[in-house]
Amino acid sequence: MDKQNNKRIRTRDEFSSFLESLFSVVSAENIIYDPERLTAYECDGLTAFRATPLAVLLPRSVEEILSILAVCKRYKVPIVPRGAGTGLSGGATPIEGAVVLSLARFNRVLEIDPKNRTARVEPGVTNIRVSQEAAPYGLYFSPDPSSQIACTIGGNIAENAGGIHCLKYGLTVNNVLGLKLITLEGDILTLGGKGAESPGYDLLPLIVGSEGLLGIIVEATLRLLPKPECAQLVVGCFDDLAKASQAVSLILSFGIIPSGLEMMDKLVLDAVQADMPRALLNSAQAILFCEVDGMQEEVEEQSIRVKEIMLKAGAKEIVVSKDDSERMLLWKCRKSAFPAMGRISPDYYCMDGTIPRKKLAYLLKKIDELSAHYNLKVGNVFHAGDGNLHPLILYDQSVPGEFEKVEKMGEKILELCVQVGGVITGEHGVGLEKLNSMCIQFSSEEIEQFRRVKKAFDPYSLLNPAKTIPTLHRCAEFGKMHLHKDNDLWGGLERF
């Protein structure tokens, strides 16, 4: 982690005073501070990084959040916001001397407005629950991460989550219309609303994906979409990843915009087949999922076209869903990929980088070369339609030095993504995981600007500090930026 002056409480007496101040504004049952219970909050889905927080706070109202922020500001205690803890970049991992602010009890669906096709929810509402509540009106919330049964809307907004249907319907940022945000200073900001346009600066794209660095989200207004009349899933089984990658480009070049276009390789397929035998072709080296939706006539025509394109690209077998139940079963194969990998490896490191689609075959070949170089197996499962890669590097945490090797390989993969015109994250965020890689993608001037924005919202750097934005000193040590101590930026940035 970057070294920052965040550990302000240094003695037991200081901690007791801080805790007493919290008890004066938050009910005792909403504060966790005994060591055994704190272990559940040591990390998020990225279990390689762990730290024990000073305390975990579970407020039930906006007033309690405002009081907590005031106490933490007075004692200079950092605050790490947390949803369900399913994130994969360490965004909700505590840092030394911090408290975790859990929004799990902000879990109400406040309004479903079928006329305006919106949902107004609190941040602790799970992703899938929004669609469940909207279903009686023929509506749904389109972002659908693999963890949608557990992940929360607040976490989706913090990381700008996507899912298998983001190619056609967009990421979280494309489906959030309004937010209510509490700043460290205690201001309650209302951004956007139910309409497509609202007066003032458009700050929604800034807040969505800001990973809890700028404020505490307490309410979100979401765009709902009408359920398509019909949907069909075409699954192509290929004997080569390059052929499957070519099929992706061909499908899109014919003007077809699938609602989902996903790929996984044989290593992942074998793990999934152990749970779901005979669902897909065992001998395939790559599986391409292509879903089309819309009016029935349109879906039938596009399904035929997709099947023809896959065969032209070299598919050895094609499966077409006959009904919705079969379609959902086939999608379950894709959505079961991450948990299924636990069958074949004690640990895995899930990467997240995005590249131009035309570079898919090239990057997959390079990842295979890195796998051989580092002697680490890699499974590939990803959103092929928008070039969002999720290489899963398999390893054993108990082997000394193995995780450090995994980190180096992961950084090489992200560096390759940047080299071909891509970016270091698509939907998992930066968190702790990609701080070094930020130095690859951005210049010192750009990182300075990120810090200026952070300071404007959080002048004391108490909201999720040491995440997402690296110090220039760190980048210089990483070897991607060459700085001199007489650089004006140096002194200005290291204060925070």
- In CATH, what number is assigned to the domain containing residue 384? 3.30.70.2740
pLDDT grade for 489, boundaries at 50, 70 and 90? very low
Looking at the structure, tell me whether residues 422 and 365 fall in a common domain: yes
pLDDT of residue 55: 97
CA atoms of 392 and 397, how far apart (whole Å): 14
pLDDT grade for 491, boundaries at 50, 70 and 90? very low
Confidence check: pLDDT of 88 > 90: yes
pLDDT-above-90 percentage for the chain: 84
- In CATH, what number is assigned to the domain containing residue 301? 3.30.70.3450
Looking at the structure, tell me whether residues 449 and 424 fall in a common domain: no
Looking at the structure, tell me whether residues 54 and 40 fall in a common domain: yes
Confidence check: pLDDT of 280 > 90: no
pLDDT grade for 278, boundaries at 50, 70 and 90? low
Angle at 74 between CA 70 and CA 77, to 5 degrees: 90
In a domain, 1, yes or no: no
The mean-pLDDT minimum among 284-293, 459-468, 469-478 falls in 469-478
Instruction: Say what the pTM is.
Output: 0.92
Tokens of 32: 């966790």
Decide: 361 and 241 in contact? Cβ < 8 Å: yes
Residue where one domain finishes, among candidates 324, 339, 354: 339
Looking at the structure, tell me whether residues 330 and 270 fall in a common domain: yes
> Which residue from 464, 468, 399 is spatially nearest to 429, judged by alpha carbons?
468
Tokens of 313: 């690209």
Judging by beta carbons within 10 Å of its beta carbon (0-12, 13-18, 19+), is residue 66 exposed, middle or buried? middle
Decide: 461 and 454 in contact? Cβ < 8 Å: yes
Domain count, the chain: 5
pLDDT in tens, 312-346: 999 999 999 999 999 998 998 888 898 899 889 99
pLDDT in tens, 108-136: 999 999 999 999 999 999 999 999 999 99
Range of the domain at 442: 437-494
Residues in the chain: 496
Confidence check: pLDDT of 435 > 80: yes
Question: What is the residue whose two structure tokens read 């925070």?
Answer: 496
Looking at the structure, tell me whether residues 297 and 317 fall in a common domain: yes
